[in-house]
Structure formats: structure tokens, C-alpha cells
Amino acid sequence: MTEIQIATASYWRCRDDDAPSHQATPPDPWHLTAASEEVAVEVPTLSPGNSARTRSLDVEEIATGRSVEAARAAMGVALASVEVGQNGHPYYSSAVAAYPAQLWLVVPDKQGQYTVNWIDPKNHVARRVGHPYTPQDIADCFMPRPYLQQSIDYGATVAIITVDPYPICARMGQRGWDYAMLETGQILCRLEMIASQVGLRTRAIGSYAEDKMQKLTGQMQLVPAVTVLMAYEN
């Protein structure tokens, strides 16, 4: 997969000349449909009556024996968070954001490794990309915090929300980042609310290495806006 190196820009400042050279080409991860392994995803049945109390994941209480089960549930939660409506557009999109955010899940498997999966809402599946990683590979993508290392060692799933505001920055300046952050917030809200309904706990994490997260997804033009730990608790 071709890597496109982007220019670094502040989340809160974007001038016309901040946009990288690929600004005329919208991010198009849909080509992954022909170059990745398809993973079936079961979307959970949701109802207002089974909502759990929403609170942050307690790393000390992660149910280590249920990491694969939690990863499977997180896949369904992720797909439900970015599902496409009858009009062909995701429910979270803002009215003028022509370049929607993308959602990725880094999940543990039975062999103790992690795989990266792009959530494909148009085809209602997840798509495995790249190669398996060790837990230490994933932990190294975050800042050196003991609780982050511990959560990966315990088998927490990692969700990554990525955005590409540069095409809109080229036309509207700062608004490109504004719309990107708006969509990120919408997805994060949906992800955490739906996760609570299936008993998953979540914790948003902002202390990560941007370039390493980009290498995980293989999409160097997509900027990771936020990551989220997901797991069952004891």
C-alpha cells in the first residue's frame, strides 16, 4: 500500500497553505474492499431498556479471560456507530463534511496477537488489513503510561477514529478541522453509548504517537483524532 506523507498541522489552526499536495483527492479507503480479508460482524440488538451506566474503563478491572469475546462485541459496536442510513450516508456525518471520518479497530486474537480492522459501513463488514502485531507493538503506539501498557497486556481492544480535514481546509481554512472534530465527537459519542448497552466499558485516550497510528492503519493521509480502549470488566 502506498504511503503518502502528510504535512504536520495544528488541530486548531489550518491555513490554505497547510494543506498537503494530495488535497484535491478525497480520502478513499474503499479500495481496501479488494485488498483485504473480510471479517463478518454481528451488530448487537439495541434497546433503551438495556443501557448500562456509562463510565470510564477501569484498567485494573479488565476481564482478561474475555478479551476475544470483547473484541467481537466491539466490532459490532463499531459498525453500529458508523452505520449507513437509507440515503447512503452515515448517521454521524455533519451536513457539509464531504470527507467522512473512518473507524478502525485493533483487536486481540486467540493467539495473543493483535490485528487491524477497518470498519466498512457500506458493505456491513470489517476488513482486516496489514499483518498481526504483538501486544508490545500496539503498546508502543501510545505514550509510555503504565495503565496503557497494562490495558494492552490485558487484551483491551483499541478503536481509532481517523480524519482527513485537508481538502476542506484548502477551501475553508480552519473549518476543515472544525468539521473533522465535529464528526470525531459524533462517532465517539455513538461508540461509547452503544458500547454501554452491550456491557463494554470505554476510555478515550489522546496520548499516542500519530505517525505510529498511521502506520497501523496503512493510511498516512488520515490523521488519528482519538483512540478508545474497549473491554469487559470483571
Q: What is the architecture, at CATH level 2, of domain 16-231? A: 3-Layer(aba) Sandwich (3.40)
In whole angstroms, give the CA distance from residue 162 to residue 221. 9
The closest alpha carbon to 101, from 162, 159, 160, 158, belongs to 162
Question: What is residue 222's DSSP assignment?
Answer: S
Helix, strand, coil shares of the chain, percent, nearest 5, are 35, 25, 40
2 — alpha (psi -120 to 50), left (phi > 0) or beta? beta
What is residue 97's predicted lDDT score, i.e. its pLDDT?
A: 52
In whole angstroms, give the CA distance from residue 220 to residue 213. 9
Whether the model pTM is above 0.85 = no
In whole angstroms, give the CA distance from residue 156 to residue 148. 10
Backbone φ and ψ for 72, nearest 5 degrees, come out as -65, -45
Three-state SS at 199: coil
Which residues on neighbouring strands pair with residue 159, listed in sequence order?
Answer: 105, 228
Check: CB of residue 157 under 8 Å from CB of residue 68.
Answer: no
What is residue 104's predicted lDDT score, i.e. its pLDDT?
A: 95
Q: Which helix (H) or strand (E) holds 184?
A: helix 175-197
Tens digit of pLDDT per residue, the chain (234 long)?
Answer: 332 222 223 222 333 344 444 333 444 444 555 556 777 777 776 655 555 556 688 888 999 889 999 999 999 999 998 887 666 666 665 544 556 688 999 999 999 999 999 998 888 889 998 889 999 999 999 998 888 999 999 999 999 999 888 877 888 888 888 888 888 888 999 899 899 988 999 999 999 999 999 999 888 888 999 999 999 998
